[in-house]
A and B are shown apart, each in its own frame.
Chain A
């Protein structure tokens, strides 16, 4: 039997994807591990690899079309199979067995496959539907993206909307007309003189919104703030950067924070944890204290943000933290993070220091129980030995999920962090 390659989950929150680019064509031979396509998820553009060997017999999904997880995207003919015959035998959207199969002299080599129906609905952007279907959907208050299409290639026709509307017991949402959304609204330098701009949520925006809503509605949070004197970090950083100059590596204050956070987490497993379970059924909930210290670092992107994960951050020295972080930032900015690089975080750092902010609170990245908001390191008047003097100060705020972390635990973590940063050489101990 030929191999059906289906769209698999490549990011944790992914529900659908879009093939941005096919890297193979019909007739190409592929082997295990070959990258066959690039897929746009709610997070980024990611490579799709095949786990099998064979010849590409058929490509089921065009570039730029949104498809649901599990949808077949490609057919591979195995060794000894004729790709042409394989392609012929498989229907694009054969959902049912032939209605009238008869016994024939030569039984068909491969009967029509029961492939997943091509999903017309997408998370955002274009929904394949007829003009009449869209008008009917708008009029009866059906979100057309929820309707599955029976037309060619999953196109939604009037009858589909009517059937959905008739069967739907769910409350009907008033929806904006499903028009084709602009791929990416270009940034405007000034307020347009004409109408207000209406920007549909793209995948990333939706993922962020979902995450934030979950955090604010599910997790009762506490905020604990400390000021940390950074003069020693500034001094050590200067010295180390001189010696690293020949390698072209330049440590940032943020790298020291990452290092100190990772080491503090190792000492406070209650903060390096995830809360797993449902508020409605707390008897079944668990707090998982993670063996690895995997620090997520939020990276701002145009139109959103993404959190690549530095795995086993506590095992790295400052130099490697810099080098590895830089790789992640680069991949994040070019939209090429792999699934591994975006999952498995046990704690998150959100740093707005570069914008000169004095203090802010970050929203939890569930199921992680804590996130650290890092503000700018700046010179402030401080009191040392009852004398007012000038110190480089940085304010950090820990947001903690009070379901799993109490105020004292949060404060203890911050005390350790403050200690490491105010006396960075202590991290060598």
Chain B
């Protein structure tokens, strides 16, 4: 039986569009079905537009917190509507870019809600299309807080948080992961009073413990109020916003704000895309796949990649999964994704860049660890920039100097981490990192110095 396409991809985000383009590059007839705009959350409502907002936060940060030292004598005034408009403009530019790539690589693009009705068979509206392989890449959506459903005004998700028309005077952020903290940091920098509530005992709980502590100190210094080990209780909508009961370790408190951003995780978009009769295995709202065997589901010819298959819900992971899936599928390289080397970034200021095991995880895995650490206060470049917060922390196995993990907090952390991802991928050891000449003066020198510090050979500390 001849199919309409070699490949149908459902979802046009970082996983979906990459899968469709790669298949087309390999000479396959590919169709990408997206119900909204190409580029997915990442490009339209996530990674990119938030970085546009954080550019404003950084400018405000430089003026408000460093301006005096740098001799700035004006006042910091911002047009909130313009900030939001520029961010939307950046997103819109980029999704036109994806449309251009689809034209270039001759990927067929269909707008609509797709449902897999049978193996190899997808229904879009009243139309049915078939393909040798179908990849589901429909991503995830924000997880609601029980008892406080999103209303888009008082109780909002990241999507509203980046497109508000009026800047809230106060904001409660539930969840101190990267999303919650980036918005918390952004609004705080622009003058909103921000309260962060986290159920776990520290913010950015996925990061190394020292990093969490350092970021908490830096953000508190900037005016964020952070409650950890704190449960969110009753949420009540008021005339001006919300009133939230929280249970801190020190007792109950009531916090009022213009809005409450809920950033406590995500759930997979599995319902619309799958006919329940198909019997695709779903685990915790995510599609179960065999990651070692080309991301196939339990249904022949049906695959899934990206956020829909579960954590860590990162665009770069989704992209690599999509490429590995397509290349395995069409016989180019039977590839897998190495989940032990996934970089993660948080774009606050100071920001976080990390890869691999935390110190605690390394010890729990039985490694005898050696820590190499270098603070930016000892970096000439950081002093010149007046951005001396943070440090580089490298976790090595003491035996061979194997790089187990790297954790950076600092104003350049998110740009610095890639070097260590490469080092880890190529199995560079402490010695190679230390003996790799780093240009002076740069923030990156701190990586070399941290490796040297671990071996007791750093000249600068």
Contact = CB atoms under 8 A, between A and B. Distances in A.
Interface string A89-109: 101001011111111111010
B432 interface: yes
Interface residues of A, number: 28
A97 B329 CA distance: 10
A101 B133 CA distance: 9
Interface in A20-43: none
B305 to A, nearest CB: 12
B26 interface: yes
Contacts of B144: none
Given A96-B334, A105-B3, A158-B402, A131 B428 contact: yes
B24 to A, nearest CB: 13
Contacts of B300: 102
A319 interface: no
Contacts of B3: 104-105
Interface in A101-121: 101-106, 108, 111-112
Contacts of B46: none
B334 A104 contact: no
Interface string B109-152: 00000000000000000000001110000000000000000000
Given A100-B293, A158-B402, A105 B2 contact: yes
Contacts of B431: 131
A130 interface: yes
A102 B301 contact: yes
A105 B329 contact: no
B400 A104 contact: no
Determine the interface band of chain B, counting residues with CB < 8 A from chain A. Answer: 35 or more
B328 A102 contact: no
Nearest to A98: B331
A139 interface: yes
B356 to A, nearest CB: 13
B400 A136 contact: yes
Given A132-B402, A139-B400, A102 B329 contact: yes
B166 interface: no
Interface string B1-21: 011111100000000000000
A105 B402 contact: no
B396 to A, nearest CB: 11
A103 B27 contact: no
Contacts of A374: none
Contacts of A106: 6, 28-29
A105 B131 contact: yes
Nearest to B295: A100
A421 interface: no
Given A98-B328, A108-B330, A131 B26 contact: no
- Give the one of A96, A105, A135, A157 with max B CB within 10 A: A105
A63 interface: no
A111 B330 CA distance: 8
B393 interface: no
By DSSP majority rule, is chain A's interface helix, strand, loop, or mixed? loop
Nearest to B302: A102
B294 A104 contact: no
A102 B135 CA distance: 12
Contacts of A99: 292-294, 328, 334
Contact of A135 (B293, B329, B332, B401): B401
By DSSP majority rule, is chain B's interface helix, strand, loop, or mixed? loop
Contacts of A100: 293-294, 296, 303, 328-329
A132 B429 contact: yes
Interface in B14-53: 26-29
A169 B344 CA distance: 41
Nearest to A96: B334
Contacts of B7: 104
Interface string B274-288: 000000000000000
Contacts of A85: 27
Contacts of A105: 2-6, 29, 131-132
B210 interface: no
B333 interface: yes
Contacts of B334: 94, 96-99, 112
Contacts of A68: none
A232 interface: no
A422 B292 CA distance: 79
A131 B427 CA distance: 6
B69 interface: no
- Give the one of B2, B330, B399, B428 with max A CB within 10 A: B330
B426 interface: yes
Nearest to A108: B331
B426 to A, nearest CB: 6
B296 to A, nearest CB: 5
A158 B303 CA distance: 31
A131 B29 contact: no
A326 interface: no
Contacts of A96: 334
B400 A135 contact: yes
Interface string B319-353: 00000000011111110000000000000000000
A89 B26 CA distance: 9
- Give the one of A91, A132, A135, A139 with max B CB within 10 A: A132
A142 to B, nearest CB: 14
A98 B329 contact: yes
A312 B342 CA distance: 67
Contacts of A136: 400
A133 interface: yes
A88 interface: yes
Contact of B427 (A98, A101, A108, A157): A157
A91 B4 contact: no
Nearest to B29: A105
Contact of B132 (A97, A102, A158): A102
Contacts of A104: 3, 6-7, 28, 131-133, 330
A132 B328 contact: no
Contacts of B428: 130-132
A156 to B, nearest CB: 10
Contacts of B27: 85, 88, 108
Nearest to B325: A100
Nearest to B424: A132
A33 to B, nearest CB: 34
A93 to B, nearest CB: 9
A233 B133 CA distance: 84
Which 7 pairs show the lowest CB-CB distances between chains A and B? A104-B132, A130-B427, A132-B427, A100-B294, A98-B331, A105-B3, A112-B331
Interface of B: 2-7, 26-29, 131-133, 292-294, 296, 300-301, 303, 328-334, 399-402, 426-429, 431-432
10 contacts: A100-B303, A103-B301, A104-B131, A104-B133, A108-B331, A111-B331, A130-B426, A131-B428, A132-B427, A135-B429
Given A85-B27, A131-B429, 6 more contacts: A101-B329, A112-B331, A112-B332, A112-B333, A132-B427, A136-B400
